[in-house]
Amino acid sequence: MSAQEQYVRYREDAKSLAAIGTCVEAQAGRVTVRLPKVLAEAAVAAWHRDEPEAPHGLGDETHGQHAIRENAAELALIGLAISERGRWENEEVVIDMDVASAGAAVRAHEDVRPEDR
C-alpha cells in the first residue's frame, strides 16, 4: 500500500469518526461537571485575557506550539461557558459543558506526562 493510499484510508476513517461525533453530540450535547474554584477561575481568566498578535505568522508554529495554543483556546471557551452559565457552589462551579470541550479537557489530561501533573 502506498502512502497516498494510506492517507485516502485515513480520510475515510476521519469521516467515520466525524459521523460518530455527530451521534455522540446528539445524545450528549452537554455534560454536567463540577470544577474546583481555582480551575474555574483560571478558565474565566483565560476567556477575559487579551492576547497580543503573534510576532510571526501562525504558519511558523511547530506542531507542539499549535497544540499548546489549541489547548489554551479550549480553556478560554470553557471560561466563556462558566461565565455564561456556571453556578458557583461553595468552592466549586457547576457547569453544563459542551461535550466537545469536555473531551478536549480529557485529551489534554491524557497528553500531560504523569510527572507534570
pLDDT in tens, 28-51: 889 999 999 999 999 999 999 987
Whole-model pTM over 0.75:
yes
Cα–Cα distance measured from residue 74 to residue 106, given in angstroms and rounded to the nearest whole number? 11
Mean pLDDT value of segment 44-59: 77
Residue 95: other Cβ atoms inside 10 A: 24
- % of the chain beyond a pLDDT of 70: 90
Say how many residues make up the chain: 117
End-to-end, the C-alpha distance of the chain in Å comes to: 40
Cα–Cα distance measured from residue 104 to residue 48, given in angstroms and rounded to the nearest whole number? 20
